[in-house]
Structure 1
């Protein structure tokens, strides 16, 4: 073992945190403020932060291009514990006023700028409590084992890919974020002669000219947010320019270095709808939402939860001053089942549905059922998190909710209007082609399937499907090992591990695992919507910190 393991019995209460992204930051910010509040009751505490890319990660790497933007409003980005009086770290906007004034007023700033803010927040958290010892371990955790103590008070050792062992720890928090790989990745089965680009990030490496030459015909597996980043990297990232025409529409001026065509292939046959702006007035919207929240809090079944969301969407559509819906309830129900509004089944469906979402967001088209469902889902999402998370649902109930959630997420959590308008401009310029976004066309191990003889063949294929949330089907040896031993468990039909509201892991017998907690993306499905920068959406970081401090202060000196 390394030095931290050899010093395990020196009276220091040791904590291991695997992962150094936003969720770990939130949890440790709450821990630090509680340690300071406890004052003299607390023994010496040491925290090891273990990650392959500490305090940055790929999602918010400060060195990524500026055209890769945040997909949520910067107004929610705040590492400060909600409701806590003393502020250790500023909000993103407070930080930006001093350190990035050119980004202060941007609703969707570059992710690189958000990464700089998160790095600053990590530094503030580590500086505010001088008695707390911090250690950074730059390595990938591949296993976690219990040693010494007993089942009620185990010590935990983290094993890393370099063969080292770190610990033993009294507490381990797993906050690992996105998995590095997954079973469904094309690279595991690819046998086609077409060159495969197996991932997207970092775009500077994987979407370079050497891998995707200028003028190439490019097929992309996936049409969601990562696909948008692919398009921007291959156009704006290669010197192409977006300008605003006299009609107010964006136009794309090519550089000559972009691909000739980018052809996405998706399961739904649709792009994500653009985020809606504040251009639609709904009479008594707060009353509609308040009534829906009351109904959600009282629901017993998933069917009732889904019906409540659809009922709220129909009310919103009825009360919308610009709505032309003749039967709001029927149109909402149809859209929820089919993913797009009535009449969308005609030729070139993907482009027409996407274009309409932009026109609604800009205020140039009357809102319909898709907009109303997206608005209802987004505004009721905090209530849904409270109602669905930690529930003991059978596989059928969960499948029903998940099917609805997939549709709603496409309507509610799509790209910012600016990025949607850029994709529309690329479609208009012929760079992005929705030809293959139709039933029957897919990307399999052998290449593009379902093409007609006359259709183009790609020069290269890009896999733009990220590893799913949770731990099922992802390449994370540590979680696989813990699941095999029964230390962690996944509910039937879901992807994330079971935990208590404070993040404490539950084993295969449903019992809490002493000293082991999991928060963030690995718990997704069991905890709804945990893959977010919105700290106000969940209380697990505070719950974990409170439980740890209570455990520490019950044992003066940090010893059993």
Structure 2
């Protein structure tokens, strides 16, 4: 007897693609699937972050050699093979548009090859309402039409629309009252359109992470500027100066330039085993004790890596750095942002030995899969969740680093006076008649525009997306903790106010807290998708 099930996937970016691939790989004989996909964007598989139409200046923060996605159920080349690149190109950083085109092609191949017993329908529509009928399952409303019923619905939208924080809301209101701009860095075409009116003017960028680096490249190279022989050659169309700022004013650290340099930070199998064991212990401890347990596993490989590169630092110094990171991430740094930028470039290029922070960050990056594999299927207590999430988020300034070339370009722009970091550290921003002033009594720090390059946190309470907001207000979606995302079972099943909701699942960023390290391409194609697919098949067979 064949069991028929109907599944809807809402959101067809990399997360939706990874889920479908996992489902295809998990399906067994005796199950027939009708699969409906909902996404208003034209390039399924890519999502907005990797849209093939975005500017080629927006680069991945992974070298080509590190984009090692699992092979799909149907034969399809790797990204390097798809791009036709040889071994010499493995250290280059592809554009996000290139990856998006690849993912769209990977999705098309999956659909064209098909699978016995699976029927796929694509709806280029935004789902704006999701309702459950106790008799026949879930119904989706999109563009005024009703679709369903479905036995299973997967929410895989990525970062839904979010209400601006108090500071950003005030700036938007200020911008509406005069000739001044507040623009998000994405979508990039809107930023480029706005920037056409900023030639010769001073603008600010809110944030100091990867999105800020995209914004700076779009405001310089995107306006016709060029780098040549270590100098920046302006086009005359770019802003006079760009002033980035953030809460701590620290630029991110670039990834090691080559595989050989990167390999210096590789933990051994024994060290990785000790980390996983420590993480399992940490999950059962209160917040402070959880981080301390993790640090016990972090210290030995840090000592080994530093000693191998002739860095003489005591265990006490490493533990002190970690203790500060636990309580006040980033406050170990006493240097100014330009000195931090120079130091990061030198360490990434292998020109100077790594310091404690850089070493910890690179080792932590190499443990991201293990971090997810142990944490995501578990159920830590609320205080432990907050502590582990904060620790991982704080280390992103090292572990999610950009290409070395991008940071070298940034330093060139700083030295040329095009990027100004004097107001980088949490400036007291004043609103003026014609814009904002980042440094009091300094007329040269007046800006006519602010580019917002801060990704909103996935706080369920701040979501304005109609579908998510309605599910939250009805109690179908509940937060796992303050300032965190949705409460989920290990297989992505949603836990509402009244308990688990049959047939409703969520994967990705909006589950932060139930899952960890979600801002990763590899997580889209990893164990989380496999657990969801296994849950779907198990429920169908029951």
TM-score range normalised by the length of the shorter chain: 0.7 to 0.9
TM-score by length of 2: 0.87
Where does 1:94-493 land on structure 2 (aligned, <5 Å)? Answer: 94-97=81-84, 105-129=90-114, 131-149=117-135, 154-160=136-142, 162-184=143-165, 188-189=169-170, 190-192=172-174, 193=178, 195-208=180-193, 212-243=197-228, 245=229, 250-277=230-257, 278-279=260-261, 281=264, 285-299=268-282, 300-301=284-285, 302-319=287-304, 320=306, 321-331=308-318, 333-334=320-321, 336=325, 339-340=329-330, 344-346=333-335, 349-389=336-376, 391-442=378-429, 448=436, 451-455=439-443, 456-469=445-458, 471-493=460-482
- 2:532 is matched with which residue? 544
TM-score by length of 1: 0.84
What CA distance in whole angstroms lies between the structure 2 residues aligned with 1:482 and 1:523? 14
Q: Offset of 1:188 from its aligned partner?
A: 3.5
Is the deviation greater in 190-199 or in 363-372? 190-199
CA contact (8 A) 1:185 1:463 kept: no
Structure 1 counterpart of 2:15, from 15, 23, 33: 23
What CA distance in whole angstroms lies between the structure 2 residues aligned with 1:298 and 1:395? 15
What CA distance in whole angstroms lies between the structure 2 residues aligned with 1:283 and 1:88? 31
CA contact (8 A) 1:76 1:534 kept: no
Is the deviation greater in 421-430 or in 190-199? 190-199
What CA distance in whole angstroms lies between the structure 2 residues aligned with 1:18 and 1:444? 41
CA contact (8 A) 1:78 1:90 kept: no
- In structure 2, relative to structure 1, the CA distance for the partners of 1:450 and 1:428 (3 Å cut) is closer
CA contact (8 A) 2:19 2:525 kept: no
What CA distance in whole angstroms lies between the structure 2 residues aligned with 1:394 and 1:445? 46
1:344-370 alpha-carbon deviations (Å, 9 max, x no partner): 425xx1111122011101111121111
Q: Secondary structure at the match of 2:261?
A: coil
1:85-131 alpha-carbon deviations (Å, 9 max, x no partner): x654332223223xx77996354211111011101111121122255
Is the deviation greater in 183-192 or in 138-147? 183-192
Structure 1 counterpart of 2:35, from 38, 47, 63: 47
Which consecutive unaligned segments of at least 5 residues does structure 2 have? Answer: none
What CA distance in whole angstroms lies between the structure 2 residues aligned with 1:42 and 1:284? 43
CA contact (8 A) 1:197 1:206 kept: no
Is the deviation greater in 295-304 or in 231-240? 295-304
- In structure 2, relative to structure 1, the CA distance for the partners of 1:103 and 1:546 (3 Å cut) is farther
Structure 1 counterpart of 2:60, from 70, 76, 83: 70
Which consecutive unaligned segments of at least 5 residues does structure 1 have? Answer: 1-10, 555-560
What CA distance in whole angstroms lies between the structure 1 residues aligned with 2:88 and 2:128? 38
Q: Secondary structure at the match of 2:49?
A: coil
Q: Offset of 1:494 from its aligned partner?
A: 4.3
> Would you tell me which structure has more helix in proportion to its own residues?
2
What CA distance in whole angstroms lies between the structure 1 residues aligned with 2:426 and 2:191? 29
